Structure 1
Amino acid sequence: MRILVTGAAGSIGRVVTLGLCDRDHEVVGLDLVPEPEGFTGNWHTVDCADADAVDAVFDEERVDGVVHLAGHPGEAALPASLTSHVLTTAALLDACVAHRVSRFVYASSNHAVGRTTRASLADGVLSDDALPRPDTFYGVGKVAAEALMRLYVDRHGLDAVACRIGSFLDEPGSLRALSTWLSPDDCVRMVEAALTAPAPGFAVLYGISNNTRAWWDLEPGRRLGYQPLDDAEAYAGRVAAAESDEAEAAHVGGPFAGEEFYRPALDLR
């Protein structure tokens, strides 16, 4: 496949770009910054929130699918979060419709359901039928982007997969991450599965590895062909206990559900 990867210069983007190329896909990179050293494919330095610029990329490049990884990775005021996560998604979805690109894969987040209390889960595991319950404005942006994807699937017949990513790290470094870790190799497996699953319509999967202590259900991903191989438990002996462990385990979003993230929606300072 020929894939447009947005946010291709980011931490996940670099891993996904190299991984897809290693699996014989051709990657077109897009980011706010110039291409990283060593990238040899076509590259576009473009803001995904600029719909005209995004459409111009689609005019120039014939692609079979989009992997949308671009977006501010942390908490911000609500307007910035909506621009970063929703308006960018809208620009890309409009371009997909206009240029007949039918596969869209989105880096959503566990923070779309992060305010869910773990005590409320009968078996301790959250699945794809959970109602949205964001823990931050970042999470609100991810929920809204997922809703927009659902609308475009229903209106235009796109196939769109929202990957609710957990803790993308080289290795887990906290007790929570032993449950929420997504390894770099499994991240690539996840994205390729979302790109190649036959006719998923709109689907949600949880972007974690095959963790013994998983808080999220891997079955939705397995239905799409995602077979994670790594397990955070291999690193458990390196993870020291911390005073924050109990608080971070109260909600599936961990510390993002805490009061340190409470702020007015329009606080633009």
Structure 2
Amino acid sequence: MAYSENHARHRLMLGVDLQDSSGPAREESLSSELVENLQRLVRRALKSQGIGSDAYSWQNRGDGGRFDFHDVSPVRVIRAVTEQVPSELRRHNRRVAQALRMALRFVVHEGYVVPHEADGDHNGRAVQELSGILDSPELRQALRKRGDWVLAVTKPIWQGVVLPLHGDLDPGAFEASSVHVKSRGELLVWVTPRSTSAARPDSAATSRPTSHDAPSGSAHGSAEPPRIGFYAPVTFEGTTSIGGVQHIGGQSDGQSDRTSDRPNP
């Protein structure tokens, strides 16, 4: 499908899903309360990183949903999940009955999305990939091994944000994994927290640049060979997008955002 500049939009996305939402311990009448609790928890985590509700839209998908961001650094979204969600989730689960406790799967992805005017949602390859990873049996199993939360980042986020150390994110906190997505086959993702039984990667697999000034769209390597190419360069009226980063006249307009310092307290 050929995308035009007016038809497709680039979005950073955070998908979240509630594990075992329809399990035998869950009463159907609790479904709406569970999703409300999930939204409230994630919104608080995002707010702690300076991401207000005006910076994203929420797409409800029943037992979870997707946050679509507008001009937000992926660093802040990843920090919200890895730094704020764990404590918020522990606090929540201590205070509620068993049937209202939550274990959450997260995926951070980016790419071009196509507006769907009928319901205000978006579609396209990037949305389908995010949904497929979020629902994959491999990510469900990863959550069971790790406790009450797990985050997977996709190849463009790994190569453009985590691996180059933007925002002092730690690539060593992630481990490479492949997941099976219907109609997409095997996709490579990087998962955190690491499994306690997983072997630490060797030095060659974790080699990375020492400068924080590299453009966020650059690929500096990965923990696995780059088997999957999500996006080819796309040019619209002199603007080139590589891996979801806009390059205008040789300067990336995502560079300053991706290399931003931690938000003010």
TM-score (norm 1): 0.32
Greater percentage in helix: 1
